[in-house]
Structure 1
Amino acid sequence: MSIHAVKRAQCHLAWDNSIPPVLRVESGETVSFECLDASNGQVTPDTVASLLATLDIATLDQVNGPVYVSSALPGDTLQIDVVDIETAEWGWTGIIPGFGLLADEFPDPALKIWTLNRTSGEGSDGGYGHAWFDEKKGIKIPLKPFAGEMGVAPAEKGAFSTIPPYRTGGNIDTKHLSKGSTLYLPVGVEGALFSVGDGHAAQGDGEVCGTAIETSMRVTVRLTVLKDKPYVQTPHFSTSPSKDESGGYYCTTGIGPEIREATRDAVRHMISLLTAEHSLDRVEAYMLCSVAGDLRMHEVVDMPNYVIGLMLPKSIFGHALP
């Protein structure tokens, strides 16, 4: 099956269902996206920290697409299999005035340029490579690249900023969406209109200062329309087994402006999945969430919404989760 391509220049700066698709594909086909970093090319290896105070904020967090997926209709689910990710040879992390969890305590711009020592295949780095935070002090960061932005167009009319996360995806900044993972998004409009961007070479859960190791990347995904998962009302994802996540996890999310309610929604969505896929009643599902589920703060800095996930290890089941 041929791999379709979306070029670096085929990007947009809002989630808007009136934006015409740059590509049309059939369900199950693969698309490769060439994505600039979240600064839209404003940051280079020669950039100095003071430039971060003058970034054109209106052009940040662009996404590439949108891609129209045939047969996708409102109420369906779009399955996004992350087939491959390749980063640039460098990346950056910055403190941008006004951004981040402690923006009031860190008002001055700061910038770190990273050399990404990439590897291919399994190795001592876990298969992706590493970047030195401080080689003299022995602080080394393992690379685990992923796209921070993956989403579909909302059903509502109008332009919505790419900076926050939404129930249809967007800037979910979830580090577990690396190669081999699968994301599930609720389809709001005909064709889904999928877009991707915001390459990260590594990030901790939460992205507390507002940036990860930001990098340009080529990300290849397979887009498949599912008609039998009406319980997917916010982003769900499934991870593959790895050194850090033996057996992998299935995760449901809650997304909203209030942390406690987003957390409650993450649990509610897992209960809905367990009753639909595992024939548990709601009481059984609720108890299973408590004894086996891990709550994570995946994204806490892109206001007004938070992303809270409930991650359930797939190894507890005698049959496969998605």
Structure 2
Amino acid sequence: MSIHALKRHQCNLAWDNSIPPVVRIVSGDQVTFDCLDASNGQLSPESTASSIGAMELSLCDQVNGPVYVEGADVGDTLQVDVLSIENADWGWTALIPGFGLLTDEYPAPALKIWKLNHKEGFAWFNEAKGMKIPLRPFAGEMGVAPGKKGSFSTIPPYPTGGNIDTKHVTVGSTLYLPIEVEGALFSIGDGHAAQGDGEVCGTAIETPMKVTVRLTVRKDKSYTKTPHFSTSISSSDEEYYCTTGVDSDIKEATRSAVRNMIEFLVTEYELDKVDAYMLCSVAGDLRMHEVVDMPNYVIGMMMPKSVLGEKA
């Protein structure tokens, strides 16, 4: 087994199977990636809300790579074992105009800069109110090159991975990706210190990261057509406060669930609407509670009570 390393500048802004690999490895090798945050270094701990308008969005969501894995053939599966993640001591969450589940209701840019306490494993959301976010770092972008020719944006997810933003694929987890081109051409990026399921405002706690993965070619998982993952979620006595949205349209039910959680946080915890929306994005989890009684879908937004304190 060999260990390889990619630097921050060894990155791309598209999924494209014509991009030459940065490094070639054999199956089972480890690779460490040093990645900038999703802004591609355009934001810093000194940035303000005005910095959002100055960002060049076409430079965001870069991925480091690609990595060519010897022996990876079309139809195989790439096994990605997440071995370690090290985030920076700061991060950011933003409302970006035109982006997010409720973008039409939050048109103004906003920015929150976080201090990440890795020693104790949390970041204060509002220290005066006792609200803190547990740190659960992961890479939002993990994928392989698509089989189709052309350049594809890094913003959405694809059957080959990409911006899957799945918080459960963290250290100790394993991701499986369908290989559509020789060598797989794996890339990674978009470091998150914490995120709620759904990432509703469009951003998590975005942060630079160093992540080490082991890449293994699997010849026995030809059924892998979309990203699969294996993870362990530790059992706990965590309690949640949940709001719901009910509608014949899944998107509108989802928007309603988030909107109702925002109203709850504003009323009960005296947060302003922008902060409440960000809190939903970094700590709240969306769940599909009811789909069988169509056309009445029930979507839940679940907020851990440990984030809110004892009041909820």
Structure 2 residue corresponding to 1:141, chosen from 118, 133, 139? 133
Counterpart in the other structure of 2:265: none
Counterpart in the other structure of 1:97: 97
Structure 1 residue runs of 5 or longer lacking an equivalent are 120-124, 246-257, 261-294, 298-322
Give the partner amino acid of 1:224.
T
Map Cα deviations across residues 100-147 of structure 1 (whole Å, 9 max, x no partner). Answer: 00000000010000000003xxxxx6xxx0000001100010000000
Following superposition of structure 1 onto structure 2, how do residues 149-228 of structure 1 map, counting pairs within 5 Å?
149-228=141-220
Query: Would you say 1:229 and 2:221 are equivalent positions?
Result: yes
Map Cα deviations across residues 189-217 of structure 1 (whole Å, 9 max, x no partner). Answer: 00000000000000000000000000000
Call closer, same or farther: CA 1:259–1:172 in 2, change over 3 Å: farther
- The sequence identity of aligned pairs, in percent, is 71
Aligned residues: 244
Counterpart in the other structure of 1:74: 74
How far is 1:51 from its partner? Answer: 1.5
What TM-score do you get using the length of structure 1 for normalisation?
Answer: 0.73
Map Cα deviations across residues 40-67 of structure 1 (whole Å, 9 max, x no partner). Answer: 0000011110121221011000000000
Aligned mates of 2:129, 2:187 — CA distance in 1: 39
Q: Give the secondary structure class of the aligned counterpart of 1:82.
A: strand
Aligned mates of 1:6, 1:38 — CA distance in 2: 17
Call closer, same or farther: CA 1:153–1:110 in 2, change over 3 Å: same
Aligned mates of 1:242, 1:34 — CA distance in 2: 28
Q: Give the secondary structure class of the aligned counterpart of 2:53.
A: helix
Q: Give the secondary structure class of the aligned counterpart of 2:50.
A: helix
Aligned mates of 1:9, 1:243 — CA distance in 2: 39
How far is 1:296 from its partner? Answer: 5.1
Counterpart in the other structure of 1:114: 114
Map Cα deviations across residues 8-59 of structure 1 (whole Å, 9 max, x no partner). Answer: 1000000000000000000001000000000000000111101212210110
Give the partner amino acid of 2:210.
R
Query: Would you say 1:56 and 2:56 are equivalent positions?
Result: yes
Q: What CA RMSD, in Å, does the superposition of the two structures yield over aligned residues?
A: 1.9
What TM-score do you get using the length of structure 2 for normalisation?
Answer: 0.75
Aligned mates of 1:47, 1:241 — CA distance in 2: 35
Aligned mates of 2:81, 2:233 — CA distance in 1: 15
Aligned mates of 1:296, 1:75 — CA distance in 2: 32
Map Cα deviations across residues 78-103 of structure 1 (whole Å, 9 max, x no partner). Answer: 00000000000000000011100000
Give the partner amino acid of 1:27.
S
Query: 4+ runs of 1 displaced by more than 4 Å?
Result: none
Q: Give the secondary structure class of the aligned counterpart of 2:184.
A: coil
Structure 2 residue runs of 5 or longer lacking an equivalent are 238-248, 252-285, 289-312
